[in-house]
């Protein structure tokens, strides 16, 4: 049940893409969190009850959480691709045995 190269390669590719997307979201969150705000813009937006620094901070926080999740899942896929292929094969084999067992139980019962 050794994982072949192509089945693990797709998981590694997906994991790498998720890590890159996570890094891009984290970079965008960092840029938004360190954005300098024009005092006149902030004052004008407060007149219509929009807290622009708070809005930027909230968006940056949500983007950083999404980036961290993407990078974490991507790292698990990238570094654990061989193990995941092995687990998928075991689970699919057990599911096939279960289906055959149900068929045999119904056919012979």
Query: Residue 37: which pLDDT band, with cuts at 50, 70 and 90?
Result: confident
Closest CA to 24 of 90, 70, 79: 70
Question: Can you tell me the distance from the alpha carbon of 15 to that of 35, in angstroms, rounded to the nearest whole number?
Answer: 30
Cα distances (Å, whole numbers) of residue 90 to 8, 29, 99: 15, 40, 14
Number of domain units in the chain:
1
pLDDT of 22 > 50? The answer is: yes
pLDDT of 5 > 80? The answer is: no
Q: Which domain holds residue 69?
A: 5-108
Question: Can you tell me the distance from the alpha carbon of 25 to that of 103, in angstroms, rounded to the nearest whole number?
Answer: 49
pLDDT tens digits, one per residue of 45-99: 888 998 888 999 999 999 999 999 999 999 999 999 889 888 999 999 999 999 9
């Amino acid at each position: 049940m050794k994982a072949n190269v192509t089945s693990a390669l797709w998981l590694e590719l997906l994991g790498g893409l998720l890590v890159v997307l996570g890094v891009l979201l984290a970079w965008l969150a960092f840029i938004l969190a360190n954005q300098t705000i024009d005092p006149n813009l902030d004052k004008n937006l407060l007149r219509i009850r929009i807290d622009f620094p708070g809005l930027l901070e909230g968006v940056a926080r949500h983007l950083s959480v999404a980036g961290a999740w993407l990078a974490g899942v991507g790292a698990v896929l990238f570094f654990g691709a061989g193990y995941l292929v092995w687990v998928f094969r075991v689970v699919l084999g057990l599911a096939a045995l279960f289906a055959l067992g149900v068929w045999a139980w119904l056919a012979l019962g």
